[in-house]
Amino acid sequence: MPNSKLIDSYGRVADDLRISVTDRCNFRCIYCMPAEGLKWLAREDILRFEEIVRLARIFVERYGVRTIRITGGEPLVRVKLEELIGMINAIDPTLDITMTTNGVLLRQKAPALKDAGLKRINISLDTLRMDTFKDMARSDAFDRVMDGITAAREAGLWPIKLNMVVMKGHNDDEVVDFARLARSEGYEVRFIEFMPLDGDNIWTNGQVVPSRRIQEQIEDLFPLEPVVDTRPGPATRFRFVDGAPGGVGFISSVSQAFCTTCNRVRLTAEGGLRTCLFSLHETPLRDLMRSGVSDDHLGGVIEAAIWRKEEGHLINQPGFIKPAKSMSQIGG
Ligand code: SAM
Ligand code: SF4
């Protein structure tokens, strides 16, 4: 039984932990990372598997965290990631362990991930067109990603959610095609608004396609009805009224922030605890752990950090300050 819950000063409970396992990536998505990449963290600065598991155990056993999402950078470039999944699964095999990946390494990795205890997977896919893929991911790996999605399915990683970041002038003409794909394959497609967390500082509000507009386009062809979620989540989810499989979800961080129900907390690859994607500071845990402090001490630091969680982000408001780190450095 957990000792207590991680509650912030606004009464929200943090029970969804996102762990970034690397800041590196084999893609250079235009909304995330510059074409030339970023200055990578040194190997010794990144949390070791044992350190990640120690923190995960504290979150699970002391504070009742039930969902752990592995992310990055691209998580599957971290060597032997399946071993880490197995170690986290050993804390409690009923944990909801999920991963967000660009999918390019899934053909090789999916069976081992499934065997290790990965329960679900989100695969990022912004387009169904090879040329747009080259434009957005700055990679030639479109076919490998599509095959990776198939491999995940074959390995039994189900349900599969597809994450599509919608950018005006790049892929916003494909949203109905993605709804068709959801219906034919049974995927849940999550349309994500472009957030000001890109490494190139190209974000403008004009490039954001509001979820409402995407929903209208889809509903012109395929009427939707809301899915009532028992647990809070960032996505507003819908199923198809005609009973087709799959569904759609909208992550409207810019047009309709969901901060009042946010239950997330993030651990960066170098062990920084972040209470919001848009936090301007984080609580460093790595050096504290390496200095030999007890779990009780770490727990106290974690509780204090969560208590200070921001009320919400200020995108599109006068006080907004873009964090110095990009999405790949935070762990989306
Ligand atoms: N590399 C993996 C991937 O792309 O799935 C995991 C890490 S990535 C940072 C996590 C998610 O953040 C992906 O779905 C990606 O599309 C999304 N993302 C990255 N930059 C974003 C931005 N500026 N706005 C909205 N979503 C973004
Ligand atoms: Fe890499 Fe994911 Fe960022 Fe794309 S969104 S550059 S795949 S970390």
Confidence of residue 249 (pLDDT cuts 50, 70, 90): very high
Alpha helices in 155-191 (DSSP H): 175-185
- In short, whether 68's Cβ falls inside 6 Å of ligand 1 is no
Confidence of residue 232 (pLDDT cuts 50, 70, 90): low
- In short, whether 25's Cβ falls inside 6 Å of ligand 1 is yes
First to last CA, the chain: 29
At residue 13, the pLDDT reads 95
In the sheet with 16-20, reading across from the earlier edge strand, the strands are: 224-226, 236-240, 247-251, 188-193, 160-166, 120-124, 96-101, 67-71, 16-20, 264-267, 272-274, 283-284
Q: Look-up: residue for tokens 């597809």? A: 162
For residues 290 and 320, the model is more confident at 290
With a cut of 90, say whether residue 229 has pLDDT above it.
no
The class that CATH gives domain 16-330 is alpha beta
**What's the CA-to-centroid distance between 27 and ligand 2, angstroms?**
6
With a cut of 80, say whether residue 226 has pLDDT above it.
yes
Return the ligand number nearest the Cα of 27: 2
**What's the CA-to-centroid distance between 332 and ligand 1, angstroms?**
5
The per-residue pLDDT for range 3-46, each reduced to its tens digit, is 789 999 999 999 999 999 999 999 999 999 999 999 999 999 99
Cis bond upstream, residue 159 (ω within 30): yes
Q: How far is CA 206 from CA 103, 196, 316, in A?
A: 29, 12, 11
Beta strand pairing status for 96-101 and 188-193?
unpaired
Report whether 234 contacts 258 (CB < 8 A): yes
Average pLDDT over residues 91-111: 98
Atom of ligand 2 nearest to the CA of 73: 8
- In short, whether 32's Cβ falls inside 6 Å of ligand 1 is yes
- In short, whether 101's Cβ falls inside 6 Å of ligand 1 is yes
At residue 236, the pLDDT reads 92
- In short, whether 25's Cβ falls inside 6 Å of ligand 2 is yes
Choice from 23, 29, 170, 277 to test ligand 1 binding pocket (greatest atom count within 8 A of CB) = 29
With a cut of 80, say whether residue 2 has pLDDT above it.
no
At residue 312, the pLDDT reads 85
With a cut of 90, say whether residue 186 has pLDDT above it.
yes
Choice from 24, 139, 163 to test ligand 1 binding pocket (greatest atom count within 8 A of CB) = 163
- In short, whether 74's Cβ falls inside 6 Å of ligand 2 is yes
Asked whether the CA dihedral 318, 324, 328, 332 is positive or negative, the reply is negative
The per-residue pLDDT for range 128-155, each reduced to its tens digit, is 999 999 999 999 999 999 999 999 999 9
C-alpha–C-alpha distance, residues 272 and 46, integer Å: 10
At residue 1, the pLDDT reads 61
Beta bridge partners of 236: 250
With a cut of 90, say whether residue 178 has pLDDT above it.
yes
Share of the chain above pLDDT 90, in %: 86
At residue 235, the pLDDT reads 76
Which residues, in sequence order, are CB contacts of 129 under 8 Å at separation 6+?
174
- In short, whether 8's Cβ falls inside 6 Å of ligand 1 is no
- In short, whether 76's Cβ falls inside 6 Å of ligand 2 is no
Q: Look-up: residue for tokens 């929903």? A: 215
With a cut of 90, say whether residue 105 has pLDDT above it.
yes
Share of the chain above pLDDT 70, in %: 98
- In short, whether 328's Cβ falls inside 6 Å of ligand 2 is yes
With a cut of 80, say whether residue 53 has pLDDT above it.
yes
Average pLDDT over residues 184-202: 95
Mean pLDDT of the chain: 95
Amino acid at 13: V
C-alpha–C-alpha distance, residues 307 and 8, integer Å: 4
User: From atom 4 of ligand 2, which residue's Cα is the shortest distance away?
Assistant: 29
The per-residue pLDDT for range 280-289, each reduced to its tens digit, is 899 999 999 9
At residue 268, the pLDDT reads 98
